[in-house]
Structure 1
């Protein structure tokens, strides 16, 4: 039996409508990704690219990390697709402490945060006195970084031959003219302990989070164009099998833009303590 042309047209129309109903939601569907980040500045930077990332097909959810301990295990376990809170030496130290299946990779280098030496009960470096206490972070990589900063400031001297890559501990101090006491504390607790010590070395993100301006308030600051800037780049970190995943490519695309570059440099919340390490095409 032959179908009338009108019937054929109606069938064709139904097929087109059904196909549209099935296909359009798939085209509009975004994939969710969960990234753990400290605030500021990491979470703020991710927040700034949320809408751009949605245009690339990914809906970003940010889980705020309040310490340096939980982000890597959660990423290795798959509870987070990525994390953004750490520099290269910290990641290397973590990878050395875990099994191969728990190791992670730095997929996108985004920014650098200069360490600073801040006033506690003493307001200037020329007030440094015999037996004063200086607080530094107690994790191995940031503790070593703090010791190199104190050496650059002329307060202590470390053994010859040590570098950020080799690390350093308080046992490597060979000169300490004023017998300074080094108090090793959790990095996130140091800003609250400022009045309990003469001075403190504070991570850039915790300094800005406490209302301090690295550019204006630090008594001594790492030079952003020196070796520290290259060594302590902060990365978006993922499992090795995700290093070239579509969501990582999309993140890199939306992060490495003039918009993000300007946001990092000019955000009043960062107070000059966050420096982008990527270059923008055409700059």
Structure 2
């Protein structure tokens, strides 16, 4: 009887120890799981337009690193930088470097590029003609009305041989800087988001690549004239922007790294039908 009691007591002790260890392991596992959930961070990314295909692939990869990419979509180019400067979003990706520089200059902000995304050539589109050479005297042409995209549009018209602008204006010519206009083109300035909608009312319209894609165009196929990609394109490389104090933020750098991958390059090629190029491969990561 005494031997039996000793054996039973020993068995109960072993069982209690095992149960205790199991509970501790369960507690540690639960704590680890809870810790993992707590470490997940949300990054608010400002975008223009409805097309998120490229960023969707990036978003999936970031999720594996505990980063939840949340889209905040805007309709006008004047909005995402203001939201970023105000702290309403963490990053934005919609603009080229020249646009950002001009915004900082005009608004006294200190937003910076933390990574290159794509180079998206500007295009001239029309529902009335199939070739830029068919543009008649006095034709109506719509261009974006902001300084950077408007200047870029005028330089594109110059590259196409339609006008000449004052060299002193450099990257930011305005309509008043036009020195030669042999076809007497009637150039109308519109909000960038309206240039695609204006196609029925004008003979040609210069439309930003993202807006053109949203309107159902394939820039490399549908534009009657497309901006060439060369060394002069660098100011127009699209970027990911952040506040200056967040320039080296580890999480934001992971967002950049997740974007600048071969997987993203494939999606860019597929979704743009070859109209946009991965800028980090041509112009560097930043």
TM-score higher than 0.5 here? yes
Structure 1 position 84 matched with structure 2 position 89: no
Instruction: Give SS of 1:279's match.
Output: helix
Instruction: Give the structure with the higher percent helix.
Output: 2
* 1:71 Cα deviation from its structure 2 partner: 0.6
CA distance, structure 2, for counterparts of residue 119 and residue 14 of structure 1: 71
Higher mean alpha-carbon deviation, 89-98 vs 141-150, is at: 89-98
Q: Name the residue aligned to 1:199.
A: 204
1:89–1:231 contact (8 Å) kept in structure 2: yes
Q: Name the residue aligned to 1:52.
A: 61
User: Which of 143, 151, 157 is equivalent to 2:164?
Assistant: 157
Instruction: Give SS of 1:168's match.
Output: coil
Structure 1: gaps spanning 5 or more residues:
none
Instruction: Give SS of 1:130's match.
Output: coil
* 1:15 Cα deviation from its structure 2 partner: 4.3
* 1:272 Cα deviation from its structure 2 partner: 2.7
Q: Name the residue aligned to 1:184.
A: 189
CA distance, structure 2, for counterparts of residue 185 and residue 140 of structure 1: 11
Higher mean alpha-carbon deviation, 123-132 vs 170-179, is at: 123-132
- Pairs aligned (count): 270
1:208–1:271 contact (8 Å) kept in structure 2: no
CA distance, structure 2, for counterparts of residue 40 and residue 219 of structure 1: 24
Q: Name the residue aligned to 2:44.
A: 34
Higher mean alpha-carbon deviation, 4-13 vs 203-212, is at: 4-13
Deviations along 1:31-67, one digit per CA (max 9) or x if unpaired, are: 11111112355x3221111110011110111122211
* 1:117 Cα deviation from its structure 2 partner: 1.1
- Give every structure 1 segment of 4 or more consecutive aligned residues whose post-TM-superposition deviation is greater than 6 Å: none
Structure 2: gaps spanning 5 or more residues:
1-11
CA RMSD across the alignment = 2.2
1:40–1:206 contact (8 Å) kept in structure 2: no
2:131–2:225 contact (8 Å) kept in structure 1: no
The structure with more radius of gyration: 2
1:118–1:201 contact (8 Å) kept in structure 2: yes
